[in-house]
Structure 1
């Protein structure tokens, strides 16, 4: 019996919740579906389904096999659709994760363009400054500014964002402008994610300054708002220092002592099969973000 037929029948039974429903879904008789699944179990040497008069449920082996095989069939269907469609129109759901500030400033403005190009595409955009488990949370594509990634992830670098040390003109008028990184110990520094050691580089090489202040947060939005309000000095990626912030009186300091930067990258979780729609959405953001940044 054809292995592809066996696999298609098995996935259809699981997705439809039974043999008769699977038969109706793929246009085969119930006996053909049953024989296909039985042949698959015999070939693999394990039971994939628990059968009763009322229900069909997955065994542990069946669950693991379905998790591996379902994406494969989806990829085959997507590839077939691309070859048979004259428009190559993308459809289906893509879950995207990005940091809150970067996502709001640079990812969200691109969403209307992407959906206009592919009207049948569905997007689930999750903006958070926390680092998510891509597999556990079913994320298809993550857009991150970070020096660290899962060693198993597929990473595509698209741009680079320098770090900047910033404060408001109002704050510097009241407290003075730091001329050297060491001057920061006398200033109210707003700490992001517990990072109290800020990196700099001088004539003798790299060094760090331990900073402190009366406000810390795990979101860049909080740091930006506090800097804009004149609470203190912050350190973050230059990609989030928009023209609006500069117009609001936010300025950079100590630029000549900052050489550290972060890659802006597109990340796929560790999966055997990446759908064509995720690949094309990734290519879209790779081009548009590179042009934008």
Structure 2
């Protein structure tokens, strides 16, 4: 028996609450629906539904199977609709997560173009320097700059950005400019996310310099504000300094010692079926961010 027919019958029974109601819903006979569900249970070797004279309810295994397979039917229906609709118009909600500063500088400016292309699309953009659990937080697409090591995620690298070490001109006028990474030991360094070992490169390869200071933070925005105010020296990816590096007051130092980079990546949950709208939004940002950065 056709597996798609079995699955369609099973989902219809669950959502209609019974075999006769499911038959009316999809325009088939009650006996055909019953045979399809029975064939599905026999093939899987488990009972999916508890049947009584008054009701039909899911078993625990049936509930799990329904939750996993219902999105597949949605995906098939959406794919059919797209092919039948010559405009291929996207609609529905896509939840996007990205870091606050990078999002403000590089993601938000692209949103108007994306929505202009797909007016029926709805976006929920979460700006946070914390790393979200994609599945638990219902995130469809994350745009990240830090390394991604989650085994439950699919990663598409867009580009690579170098790190940069900067401070304000007034800070260096007051405290001196570091000429080598070791000079940072005498400077006030702003620590991000507890990373007190900064990586540099020299003639003998990579080496770490332990830094410290009177300010630590979990947001790049705080570091930028502190640098502008002359508090100390910070290190992060260059994409966060798009505007500041054009300012005469922000100065990059130790550039010849910096070889570390950060990947800008698109990350989405490791699901077998990804909706068309998420796929197209992902492709949009892959192209637009690649050109922008």
Task: Check whether TM > 0.5.
Answer: yes
Name the structure 2 match of 1:277.
277
Give 3-state SS (helix, strand or coil) of 1:199's partner.
Answer: strand
User: CA RMSD of the aligned region, Å?
Assistant: 2.4
**Deviations for 1:112-131, whole angstroms, at most 9, x for unmatched residues?**
11111111112222222122
SS at match of 2:64: helix
Answer whether contact 2:164 2:255 (CA < 8 A) is retained: yes
Q: Distance in 2 between matches of 1:69 and 1:279?
A: 19
SS of structure 2 residue aligned to 1:164? strand
Q: Is the 8 A contact 1:228 1:245 kept in 2?
A: no
SS at match of 1:281: helix
Count of aligned residue pairs for this structure pair: 292
Residue 191 of structure 1 deviates from its aligned partner by 0.4
The answer to whether the aligner puts 1:287 opposite 2:277 as a matched pair is no
Q: What's the counterpart of residue 87 of structure 2?
A: 87
Following TM superposition, by how much is the alpha carbon of 1:210 offset from its aligned partner in structure 2, in angstroms?
0.2
TM-score, length-scaled by structure 1: 0.89
Query: Shift in Å at residue 59 of structure 1?
Result: 2.4
Alignment partner, residue 65 of structure 1: 65
1:106-147 deviation per Cα after TM superposition (whole angstroms, max 9, x unaligned)? 111111111111111122222221222222222221111122
- SS in structure 1 of the partner of residue 195 of structure 2: coil
Is the CA contact (8 Å cut-off) linking 1:162 and 1:260 kept in structure 2? yes
Q: Secondary structure at the match of 1:201?
A: strand
Structure 1 residue 53: deviation in Å?
A: 7.7
CA shift, 1:34, in A, is: 5.4
Moved more, 100-109 or 21-30: 21-30
Counterpart for residue 198 of structure 1: 198
Equivalent in the alignment of 1:187: 187
- Check whether the contact 2:148–2:155 (CA below 8 A) recurs between aligned residues: no
- Match of 1:107? 107
5+ unaligned residues in a row in structure 1: which ranges? none
Between 40-49 and 250-259, the greater mean CA deviation after superposition: 40-49
Structure 1 contact 135–270 (Cα < 8 Å) conserved:
no
User: Which whole-Å CA distance do the structure 1 matches of 2:53 and 2:239 have between them?
Assistant: 60
- Taking the TM superposition and a 5 Å limit, the aligned residue runs for 1:10-89 are 10-14=10-14, 16=15, 18-19=17-18, 26=26, 33=33, 36-50=36-50, 57-89=57-89
Give me the whole-angstrom Cα distance separating, in 2, the residues matched to 1:291 and 1:138.
28
Q: Aligned equivalents of 2:212 and 2:260: distance in 1?
A: 20
Gaps of 5+ in 2: none
- Write the distance in 1 (CA, Å) between the matches of 2:127 and 2:69: 30
